Structure 1
Amino acid sequence: MKVTIIGAGGNIGQRITKEATTRNHELRLITSKEKSFFGIDDVDIKAVDIFDTETLAENLKGSDVVISAYAPPHENTDLIIDATKSLVEASKKAEVRLIAVGGAGSLKVSEDLLLVDAPDFPADYKSIAVSHQKALEDIYLKESELNWTNVSPSAYIFEGERTNQFRIGEDYLLANDKGESAISMEDFAVGILNEVENASFSKKRFTIGY
């Protein structure tokens, strides 16, 4: 498949790129990183402003699916909302499927409680969690034309190993018997590429965790 990865040089984007190369997809990377950063020879790399919708759309054309691992700056997390609006419009113009990395904060921990509203939710991550929640609720869940998928990690996502042993959920936070909710970036990437190939969650959000 022809796969375009936005934010390919970020922590999660790197893992998605690496996983995609092992599956022999034809890749196009949108990132400010140089080709040598990835160690991939046969790949098209461009630096495209995610907020320039028209130019972005032109660079998405011809792809079967676009994966966005765009992360906003810590000092202005609401940029994820503007970026999402641009991504959605560009993807519609280019007539491609969009899979976007979301946040864990919008996952339910009980019927009436979201993770971001839990008393012990870390204050340092509140802003980005709320911004991702707005993008999901105000843009993706109201979008009926585009074939979109939003992917939430577990509460704790870390640099680790590719085990290929994880669970898939929808709107509820995944946790083990000890109440721990975690996923490695490597396995998160596996789950995303599985979705690229199987398309199980069209116009839905899903989550990946141990």
Structure 2
Amino acid sequence: MSILLFGASGNIGSHILKEALLRGHRVTAVTRSTDLEPQERLTALKADIADEDEVAKIAAGHDAVISAYSPGLRRHSAEEAAELIHKAHDALFAGVRRSGMRRIIVVGGVGSLEASPGVDVVDSDFYPAEHKAHTLRNREILRSLKRGEHDLDWTYVSPPLSIKHGERTGIFRLGEDRLLRDEAGESRISEADFAIAILDELESGRFIRRRFTAAY
């Protein structure tokens, strides 16, 4: 399979890249500025996800797009990140449609998962107020996909509350709209196992036009 991957140098994106190559896929890895180490079946590009014309041009000829784009809260405030996320996804969805390719997986946020009946994580009393602006924007992106506004064969994947470097085990649970917690009440997964869940979905198409989450 030929995959176009945005955010390929990020914490999650780099693990998606590694997992995709491990499985024998061909990957066009897009970054803003980082040079990637040459590898077999890897084409590295520097491009702007917020440029619809660039997205349309580079998406053409691929089988699927995975977006692990994040503007990064170390460089931007939550409000600035919200605006960047909005512009990036508008351009991404429009560019992918123009390319003639329909399959896309969007790595989103945890905030739109249901923490308790009728209460999303972003609206819960434990969610950090300083993160809400960009989290609400991510939730609106999911809602726009569910409303059918972008006419794509999309999958939106939400991480659990904690996603960090860790072991690649291949053992985790899948859910849809509810936050997953283990017996100790923790909601977590390693970046390596999260990448497995994403590539599994790309290959199986189990959650087309649906959201899923993965956690231990």
Instruction: Give the TM-score normalised by the residue count of structure 1.
Output: 0.94
**Aligned residue runs from structure 1 range 19-168, under 5 A:** 19-31=19-31, 32-36=33-37, 39-74=38-73, 75=77, 76-78=80-82, 79-96=84-101, 97-137=103-143, 139-143=144-148, 145-168=151-174
More moved, 81-90 vs 6-15: 81-90
Cα deviations by residue, 1:48-102 (Å, 9 ceiling, x for unpaired)? 1111101211100111111000002422121112211111111111122110100
> Quick one: distance in 1 between partners of 2:59 and 2:119?
37
> Quick one: distance in 2 between partners of 1:73 and 1:48?
17
Alignment pair present for 1:11 and 2:11: yes
Q: How many residues align?
A: 207
1:41 to partner: Cα distance? 4.0
> Quick one: distance in 2 between partners of 1:99 and 1:46?
19
Identity, % of aligned pairs? 39
Amino acid across the alignment from 2:22: T
1:123 to partner: Cα distance? 2.9
- SS in structure 1 opposite 2:81? coil
> Quick one: distance in 1 between partners of 2:126 and 2:12?
25
> Quick one: distance in 2 between partners of 1:46 and 1:159?
25
Amino acid across the alignment from 2:88: A
Instruction: Give 5+ residue unaligned stretches, structure 1.
Output: none
Cα deviations by residue, 1:114-154 (Å, 9 ceiling, x for unpaired)? 111111112343233222112212x2122252111110000
Instruction: Give the TM-score normalised by the residue count of structure 2.
Output: 0.91
CA RMSD of aligned residues (A): 1.4
1:159 to partner: Cα distance? 1.1
